[in-house]
Amino acid sequence: MKKKQIFLFIFSSILSINSLFSNTEKIESDSLLKKDRIININKFRFGFDLSNPIKSSSNNDNFSYEIVSDLQLTDNLYIAGEYGSIDKLVEDENINFNSIGDYLKIGFDYNMFKNWVGMDNSIYIGLRYASSNFSNKVVSYQVRNIDAYFSNLVENDFETVNHENLSGSWIEIVTGIKVETFDNIYLGISLRLNKLLSDKKPENFDNLFIPGFNKVTDDNTWGSGFNYTITYSIPFRKKR
Amino acid sequence: MIKRYNLILFVVFFSLIACEKDDICIEGSENTNRINITFIDYSNKQPKSIDLNSIRGIGIDSIIEGISGTNLKLPLKVNSSKTKYLLEFNQDIDTLVIFHKTIHYYLNRSCGYISNFIVKPDTEISKDYGWIKEISIENDSIFNEEKTNILIHF
């Protein structure tokens, strides 16, 4: 009799502990689900820009590239960044020079596109802070002269200067789209409006081109850029 | 199917037109200046008018046509540190060798560089025929064309 009661007691207590444990488990998983809605790290995408290598090879320049990546933070917010390396002959109106340098851009993308179930495309706006270290090596230039009796072309053998240790920083406003064209592979295009914040100018020359920022104009500090990207998404979780 | 549709959409979006504004160097911006040569009489050191038959830069085929007057402006080589001219006067040709420091000065994107010069004291005349008696430097720096830079005595 006593034995039976003791057995029942142990059994029920195990049951109750069991149910207690299972209860807590449920609560934990609930809270995870709730958290899931705020921080939703589903995707890490990385890839590269298609336009830079094509442009650099068609212009007979050295290889230029840009690596892009983004990490999903919430449903619509991504940390995004680009790293690029440029080696390009810039042929300007009077001056030809080689622009060589690296740049890094870091910021956010915000997706504004409501996807249908099963789709994963985005139309986004974003913001970047970017900085670049570069050198602009003057190759040749045409000296401004009313008189064209002698050639006014100055080439490598006379006083062309390599302006080194230059730098610039700027802000980019980004708009773009990313389209999942194959499973986990996205094609993207983005347009960028750049606002130069500061740049270290060379002596007796100007920063006419900054890698990553592109052409710098005389009269204002705005610039523009674009990229065509192909990115691969590492699937952290299977799609529901 | 949807993904294929996306691909088409993407290709349509792909076309992008790039516009670029041309920068034009404003008329009246600084320019590369020529050397200003004044001819003076060897005996009384007063400016004296001269009729040169021809002027030719060495290494250049074309001839600068004859010039008369007391004053002559000639371009210097922007990509060298010496400029040679053959000056012909009464069928005699003397060679004027101007040694100069060439200093390029950056203006802006649309105008590019201009050149200033400093005439070096070893500027000389090689007296093949000798109609030029002497040469002297008046102002060695060429930053404008108003002042006389060198005097040719004849």
**Residue-wise pLDDT tens digits, A111-145:** 988 888 888 889 999 999 999 999 999 999 999 98
Which of B7, B31, B110 comes nearest A218 by C-beta?
B110
Q: Is the pTM of this model over 0.80?
A: no
Q: What is the pLDDT of residue A66?
A: 95
pLDDT in tens, A188-206: 999 999 999 999 999 889 9
Q: What is the nearest CA distance from A143 to chain B, expressed in angstroms?
A: 5
Give phi and psi for A23, each to the nearest 5. -60, -50
Residue of chain B whose alpha carbon sits nearest to that of A152? B78
CA A164 to chain centre: 26
Q: CB under 8 Å to B42, separation ≥6 — which residues? A: B133, B134, B153, B154
pLDDT cut 70: percent of chain A above it: 80
CA A5 to chain centre: 69
CA distances, A120 to each of A46, A113, A233 (Å): 16, 9, 11
What confidence category does residue A7 fall into, taking pLDDT thresholds of 50, 70 and 90?
low
User: Residue A11 pLDDT > 80, yes or no?
Assistant: no
Which of B16, B25, B64 comes nearest A226 by C-beta?
B16
Q: What is the nearest CA distance from B96 to chain A, expressed in angstroms?
A: 16
Q: What is the pLDDT of residue B126?
A: 66
Placement of tokens 């523009």 in the chain: A224
* A186 within 8 A of A231, measured Cβ to Cβ: yes
Question: Domain residues of chain B, as ranges?
Answer: 30-153
* H or E stretch covering A13: helix A2-38
pLDDT in tens, B57-81: 888 888 887 678 888 888 998 988 8
- Which residues on A lie below 8 Å from B36 (Cβ)? none
| Single-letter code of the amino acid located at A131 | S
Q: What is the nearest CA distance from A130 to chain B, expressed in angstroms?
A: 22
Q: Are the Cβ atoms of B109 and A218 closer than 8 angstroms? A: yes
Torsion sign, CA atoms A145, A147, A148, A150: negative
A161 touches chain B (CB under 8 A): no
Nearest C-alpha neighbor of A209 from the set A105, A95, A90: A90
CA B7 to chain centre: 58
CA–CA separation, B146 and B126 (whole Å): 27
Lowest mean pLDDT among A75-89, A102-116, A201-215, B1-15: B1-15
Complex ipTM:
0.75
In the stretch 103-142 of chain A, residues with CB closer than 8 A to chain B read 116, 118-119, 121, 141-142
A38 touches chain B (CB under 8 A): no
Which of B2, B14, B25 comes nearest A144 by C-beta?
B25
Placement of tokens 């105008």 in the chain: B111
Q: What is the pLDDT of residue A160?
A: 67
A179 touches chain B (CB under 8 A): yes
CA dihedral B93, B98, B141, B46 (to 10 degrees): -30
- Which residues on B lie below 8 Å from A159 (Cβ)? 102, 104
Number of CB atoms found within 10 A of residue B27's CB: 5
Number of CB atoms found within 10 A of residue B153's CB: 16
Q: Are the Cβ atoms of A118 and B2 closer than 8 angstroms? A: yes
* B147 within 8 A of B138, measured Cβ to Cβ: yes
A206 touches chain B (CB under 8 A): yes
pLDDT, mean of each 10-residue run, chain B (154 residues):
58 49 76 89 87 85 80 88 87 87 90 90 70 84 85 86
In the stretch 53-112 of chain B, residues with CB closer than 8 A to chain A read 57, 60, 62, 64, 75-80, 83, 102, 104-112
Q: What is the pLDDT of residue A24?
A: 45
Q: Check residues B147 and A14 and name the one with the higher pLDDT.
A: B147
Residue of chain A whose alpha carbon sits nearest to that of B28? A146
Q: What is the nearest CA distance from B68 to chain A, expressed in angstroms?
A: 19
Residue from A94, A146, A210, A230 to probe the interface with B (highest B Cβ count within 10 Å): A94
Q: What is the nearest CA distance from A138 to chain B, expressed in angstroms?
A: 12
pLDDT cut 90: percent of chain A above it: 48
- Which residues on A lie below 8 Å from B84 (Cβ)? none
